[in-house]
């Protein structure tokens, strides 16, 4: 069958591209080897937030229940129900995506796709070629897979060394877990398992617990995790992993010594790599570089009619980025004008407790680029809404260019900051200055006041600090 556009993958890039294409009147097909929604919906963004919500409710009751007049003498964890609830949420949203496919007349093809010359794809089911389709345009949106360091010496046991996918559906809670990597995946699972009662240790090769983040945020996160008992080793590498007596012994090299750690389970959270093996790139001649598909600003590969978006190209691996790239890619195919993505104005969030949200340049990056900067901070411990909520951990940090009053960056750590960051994204998009933000009235009491207060602090106008 011939289509105007075929999209490989139905994650937040693929299914959004298919819907946008259908809206513009294109005959559209999406190919999915497993479940609609891709990794994000089925094994990433959505189920992890369900687990983290359970963890936050549990910790809120334990920590503050009696302060708010709620007795909490007999709290019990029903771990299987927590997991089951996350899967039910996935199923509900997956049905929503399926409905959107039908509503927009999108042809869904299940199976593994392999690219062929002449803008064709071959569909394999149970390792057998069963279908062939063609299209005027083919978009590769096959996402990413977990990255595991092949240089580490270890004895592998598939039930004990896991990635995020297995971590979402463990049949029972481990007593001890070692998490390798402290990006968003590692940090979120660290908080979840700790809240459930597991002894958690994080190993990070970088010097910061939150790599590539603002230094002040990383320092506060380390303090916060240490306070609740999440052990962490930064600037540390793994020498070897040995499976012994139904447990793992992990030998790590810190800045000062070698240490042996023990755990029931090891979770690899060292990031992801593009899922582009065995899809026919070599046969077509599509260019790659360091494991990523090379594209131009309109997401076109070096071969006419073939495009790539999301985690398979060298832009930040975030679901919301993939969705915007999807829309822009389709709009460009149709010859429509679209706003180019400013990748420096994309919010990056971690949904642990405390939450982390960041956009723009860090303090270190701002200085490296030669800006003369003004920095303002406001702690949630001085905010009325946070005090009334008994959630006073964290702060908001803003960075402005002293010369032009440009909002260079904003970095937050604390309760609900993943919601607060959107205001900053919009303000930076509209090139708002500190003068304009300070003149914008925010509701009281609210968490959003922390943004205004931090800017006031940067310019020596603080009222409440």
Show which residues are catalytic.
444
How many CA atoms are closer than 13 Å to the CA of 92, on its beta-carbon side? Answer: 9
User: Two tokens at 4?
Assistant: 């105007």
Cis preceding-peptide flag for 354 (omega within 30 of 0):
yes
User: Two tokens at 144?
Assistant: 């990413």
Of the candidates 150, 148, 149, 114, the one whose C-alpha atom is nearest the C-alpha of residue 132 is 114
Of the candidates 386, 362, 389, the one whose C-alpha atom is nearest the C-alpha of residue 448 is 386
Q: How far apart are CA 359 and CA 422, in angstroms?
A: 9
Asked whether 249 and 161 are in contact (CB, 8 A), the reply is no
Alpha-carbon torsion angle 199, 196, 353, 238, nearest 10: 30
Of the candidates 126, 44, 134, 48, the one whose C-alpha atom is nearest the C-alpha of residue 83 is 48
Of the candidates 414, 380, 378, 426, the one whose C-alpha atom is nearest the C-alpha of residue 398 is 378
For residue 343, the tally of other CB atoms under 10 A from its CB is 11
Cα 456 → chain centroid: 31
Alpha-carbon torsion angle 266, 267, 271, 276, nearest 10: 90
What is the DSSP secondary-structure string of 369-437? Answer: TT--EEEEEEEGGG-HHHHHHT---EEEEEEEETTT--EEEEEEEETTHHHHHHHHHHHHHTT--HHHH
User: Two tokens at 41?
Assistant: 């919906």
């Amino acid at each position: 069958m011939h289509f105007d556009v075929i999209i490989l993958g139905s994650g937040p890039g693929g299914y959004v591209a298919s819907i946008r294409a259908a809206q513009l009147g294109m005959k559209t097909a999406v190919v999915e080897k497993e479940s609609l929604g891709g990794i994000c919906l089925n094994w990433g963004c959505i189920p992890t937030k369900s687990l983290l919500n359970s963890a936050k409710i549990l910790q809120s009751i334990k920590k503050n229940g009696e302060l708010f007049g709620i007795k909490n003498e007999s709290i019990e964890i029903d771990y299987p129900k927590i997991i089951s609830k996350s899967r039910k949420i996935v199923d509900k949203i997956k049905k929503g995506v399926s409905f959107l496919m039908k509503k927009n007349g999108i042809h869904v093809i299940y199976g593994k796709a392999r690219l062929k010359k002449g803008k064709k794809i071959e569909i394999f089911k149970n390792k057998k070629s069963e279908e062939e389709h063609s299209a005027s345009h083919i978009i590769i949106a096959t996402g990413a897979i977990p990255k595991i360091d092949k240089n580490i010496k270890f004895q592998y046991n598939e039930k004990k060394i896991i990635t995020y996918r297995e971590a979402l559906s463990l049949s029972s809670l481990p007593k001890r877990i070692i998490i390798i990597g402290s990006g968003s995946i590692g940090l979120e699972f660290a908080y979840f398992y700790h809240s459930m009662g597991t002894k958690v240790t994080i190993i990070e090769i970088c010097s910061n617990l939150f790599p590539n983040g603002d230094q002040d945020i990383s320092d506060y996160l380390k303090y916060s995790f240490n306070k609740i008992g999440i052990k962490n080793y930064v600037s540390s590498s793994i020498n070897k992993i040995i499976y012994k007596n139904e447990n793992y012994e992990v030998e790590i090299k810190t800045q000062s010594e070698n240490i042996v750690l023990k755990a029931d389970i090891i979770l690899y959270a060292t990031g992801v790599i593009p899922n582009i093996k065995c899809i026919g790139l070599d046969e077509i001649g599509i260019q790659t570089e360091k494991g990523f598909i090379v594209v131009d600003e309109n997401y076109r590969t070096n071969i006419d009619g073939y495009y790539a978006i999301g985690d398979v190209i060298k832009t930040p691996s975030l679901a919301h980025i993939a969705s915007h790239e999807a829309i822009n890619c389709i709009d460009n195919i149709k010859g429509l004008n679209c706003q180019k993505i400013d990748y420096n104005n994309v919010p990056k969030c971690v949904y642990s407790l405390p939450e982390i949200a960041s956009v723009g340049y860090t303090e270190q990056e701002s200085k490296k680029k030669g800006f003369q900067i003004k920095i303002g901070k406001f702690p949630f411990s001085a905010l009325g809404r946070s005090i009334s909520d008994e959630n006073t951990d964290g702060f908001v940090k803003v960075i402005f260019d002293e010369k032009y009053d440009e909002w260079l960056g904003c970095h937050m750590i604390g309760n609900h900051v993943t919601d607060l960051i959107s205001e900053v994204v919009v303000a930076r998009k509209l090139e708002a200055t500190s003068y304009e933000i300070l003149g914008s009235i925010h509701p009281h009491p609210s968490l959003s006041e922390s943004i205004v207060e931090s800017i006031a602090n940067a310019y020596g106008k603080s009222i409440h600090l």
